Amino acid sequence: MEHLGRPSEGEPDKRTLRRALLAVRSGLTADVVAEAAAALARRALELPELAGARTVAAYVSVGAEPGTLALLDALRARGVRVLLPALLPDNDLDWGAYTGADSLARVQHGGKMALFEPAGERLGPDAVTSADAVLLPGLAVDARGMRLGRGGGSYDRVLARLERAGARPSLVVLLYDAEVVERVPAQAHDRPVHAVVTPTGVRRFGGRP
């Protein structure tokens, strides 16, 4: 998970691993990304954690990230309330409802990659605490369920907010098969996810919350 503030022990290793994983993603063809997105949606929809969810906090994939749009639309078709993040100036996340592709706005945040965010009403950073499941972006997850993020700290804030609120949603990360690795660097504040979904299957870590 991302570390906020000053880099601590293990952070250089995280940066090296991030660069290597992003380099592999950048080499994926559009066909591979599209095929993986379809397979991810099928696998994720079979998850008990999502089958019983009334509200799911998710995100819109960009670039060569494992695709999420097919999954978001399938969840909506089930009657699930889908929340999507909007990046705030301090890297925290606000939230808004996803009501279809026409409810998204492409937003450029400085020199960072453009993101697709909910164009409608903002519900506040605490809206995520109502979610039954949270789909997390990432670059890798290890055998302990520890997630490697991009390093911006946004989802560290989300997870800390959930903990403060006493909320216990299922935490699920969506990745490519090769991004499930033996070990990623982690600090004491990091917390494991409950499951990882890849195009070929699902792996769980410990019990459900």
40-77 pLDDT per residue, tens = 999 999 999 898 899 999 999 998 999 999 999 999 99
pLDDT tens sequence across 104-154 = 999 988 766 788 999 989 999 999 999 999 999 999 999 999 999 887 889
Residue 209: its pLDDT value, please? 47
To the nearest whole number, what is the mean pLDDT of the chain?
89
Amino acid identity of residue 73, one-letter, is D
DSSP state of 102: G
pLDDT (mean) for 163-182? 95
pLDDT (mean) for 20-29? 95
Helical H segments across the chain, by residue range: 11-26, 30-45, 48-51, 69-77, 154-165
A 10 A CB-CB count for 183 gives 11
Residue 169, Cβ density class (10 Å: 0-12 exposed, 13-18 middle, ≥19 buried): buried
pLDDT tens sequence across 88-106 = 999 999 999 999 989 999 9
Q: What are the φ/ψ torsions at residue 21 (nearest 5 degrees)?
A: -70, -40
CA distances from 160 to 59, 126, 133, 163 (A): 18, 11, 15, 5
CA dist 47 and 40 (Å) reads: 11
Domains and CATH numbers, the chain: 11-204 (3.40.50.10420)
Look at the pTM and tell me if it is higher than 0.95. no
DSSP state of 12: H
CB half-sphere exposure, 24, CA atoms < 13 A: 13
Q: 């000053």: which residue's tokens?
A: 6
CA dist 41 and 37 (Å) reads: 6
